[in-house]
Structure 1
């Protein structure tokens, strides 16, 4: 636990520098460069609005007293969090196998690679959230005071993703098939969460099952607080937070246990 807390503080400059380098490398050679981090979510939101508002004319049952919100806005809010998870999961598979040169450097702290992964993908999430809020203002959807709670509400998801990144990165060294599995698993998480519907609208029988999906609680919390301003389910949030911390500790323990043999396998 001590290393989990001290590592990002001790190596904060290195983490930030490598996170920025990863984002720049992702768009290297493109005409607009890192500006695509803003354009991509903007294009997604425009497409969702066109399809769900003007073609499907989809509606979402909103809490009593809340303003009417387009289905596309609510869908986009959920997909932002799924995109964050998908980015972290997909990149974690090759986090060690794709950085063999760092594995062979005795002085390099491999434990910070998941931190770099989380920060670089988190920056893109923040840009997407910014696009969402601008779109809400453009459509005269009032910004709620509960927006201030968003960093707190998303903290358990960040902790969970950090633990998942350590775990997936370590297992990816030994199980190369995990890359193929991960693509399917990410899709399963998309359709078994509440991104396309609210938890209240799901059959009561499967609501407890849906809450085992690591996206359900943060998606519901983010959507309700940022868009409807109605979040008050701190009990479920507290359970999810505690579970995320335990999962993070498990992921870090597995990573530390397997780390000494990384160089032998690679």
Structure 2
């Protein structure tokens, strides 16, 4: 029986209890990710910037895709504001899936609970999301292409992070007994990149297959970013409600699964 008032049963209370050590270890992990490299943390911007530039050139210049009522600059902003959160999710999913298999000793730790390890990895892997959205929002403000709704971006980031943590809680334990999942992740990400409306708007999707977009959980987050940053409007209520329900459900379900499965799985590793 789960009691949400119990620190053990409530992930929010647990995060609050261990917030200081979680913050310090997350910062250490970010430093470790880029230690020894010449550019260091600049890779957080440089690497994705190259990918985003190529992506934009292909769709905006080569294919000359331009949705109705959008200028070229608005379309570029639309693509970038959708691609950045997608990159944050994909990086966190890949790193988070291996977070427990590379830190098995935490499974029996009482100093730093194992369920906080995936959280640490998800946050440290999402530096592209935090910095990227901040930069693109600043660009929108500088070019006078921003609206008052831009203040809601932190909420969208929080819900995407909650969703990612929930997924990673599940995948990180599965990878202990089914190691092939770490190789499957790259193909899952590729499929999601194609299915997620990033370079095209929901209106451009044929009605017969539009249901595919709504069955894709990432759509609710990427389109929320695109609506606020590029379209300068609130996302539709269905997108907002869907994103909240999906993120909170996956977050809590992932946490419950992790608590119930970690002791059982530990006996097999």
TM-score (norm 1): 0.88
Report how far residue 164 of structure 1 moved. Answer: 0.3
The whole-number CA distance in structure 2 between the counterparts of 1:265 and 1:71 is: 50
In the alignment, the residues of structure 1 paired with residue 34 and residue 235 of structure 2 have an alpha-carbon distance, to the nearest angstrom, of 40
Give yes or no for the alignment of 1:248 onto 2:255: no
Give the C-alpha shift of residue 106 in structure 1: 4.5
Q: How does 1:254-265 map to 2 (within 5 A)?
A: 254-265=257-268
Q: C-alpha displacement at 1:22, in angstroms? A: 1.6
Match of 2:131 in 1: 127
The one of 95, 98, 105 aligned to 1:101: 105
Structure 1 residue corresponding to 2:237, chosen from 221, 234, 238 = 234
Alignment counterpart, residue 176 of structure 2, candidates 157, 165, 173:
173
Instruction: Report if the CA contact (8 A) 1:163-1:247 is conserved.
Output: yes
Matched, 1:209 2:220: no
How many angstroms apart in 2 are the aligned matches of 1:26 and 1:172? Answer: 21
Deviation at 1:204, TM superposition (A): 1.4
For residue 30 of structure 1, report the CA deviation from its aligned partner: 1.0
Residue 114 (structure 1) aligns with:
118
For 1:84, the equivalent position in structure 2 comes to 88
**CA distances 1:155-197 after superposition (whole Å, capped 9, x unpaired):** 3322211110111111111211111211111111111111121
Tell whether the 8 Å contact from 1:144 to 1:227 is kept in structure 2 after alignment: no
The alignment partner of 1:215 has SS state of helix
Q: Go from structure 1 to structure 2 and tell me whether the alpha carbon gap of 1:179 and 1:110 turns closer, same or farther (over 3 Å shift).
A: same
| CA–CA separation in structure 2 for the residues paired with 1:4 and 1:75 | 34
Residue-by-residue CA offset, 1:118-163 (whole Å, 9 max, x unaligned):
221233311111332344456x352211101112234332221111
**Number of residue equivalences:** 262
Would the aligned equivalents of 2:60 and 2:72 in 1 still touch at CA under 8 Å? Answer: no
Moved more, 240-249 or 99-108: 99-108
- 1:40 and 2:44 equivalent? no
Q: Does 1:75 align with 2:82?
A: no
Structure 1 stretches lacking a partner, 5+ long: none
User: 1:197 aligns to what?
Assistant: 200
In structure 2, runs of 5+ residues without a counterpart are none
**What is the root-mean-square deviation in Å for CA atoms of aligned residues?**
2.3
Residue 232 of structure 1, CA deviation? 4.5
Distance 1:54 1:191 in 2: 19
* Contact 2:195 2:213 (C-alpha < 8 Å) held by counterparts: yes
Indicate how the Cα distance of structure 1 residues 43 and 133 shifts in structure 2: closer, same or farther if over 3 A, else same: farther
Q: What is the CA distance between 1:55 and its match in structure 2?
A: 4.4
Task: Give, in whole Å, the separation in 1 of the partners of 2:225 and 2:265.
Answer: 38
Residue 35 of structure 2 aligns to a residue whose secondary structure is: coil
| Residue 148, structure 1, aligned to residue 151, structure 2 | yes
Displacement after TM superposition at 1:116 (Å): 0.7
Distance 1:179 1:50 in 2: 30
Q: What is aligned with 2:16? A: 9
Aligned counterparts of 1:251 and 1:50: Cα–Cα separation in 2: 38
From 31, 43, 47, the counterpart of 2:38: 31
Q: Do 2:223 and 2:235's aligned partners in 1 also have CA atoms closer than 8 Å?
A: no
Instruction: Using the TM superposition, give the Cα deviation of residue 91 of structure 1 relative to its aligned residue in structure 2, in angstroms.
Output: 1.3
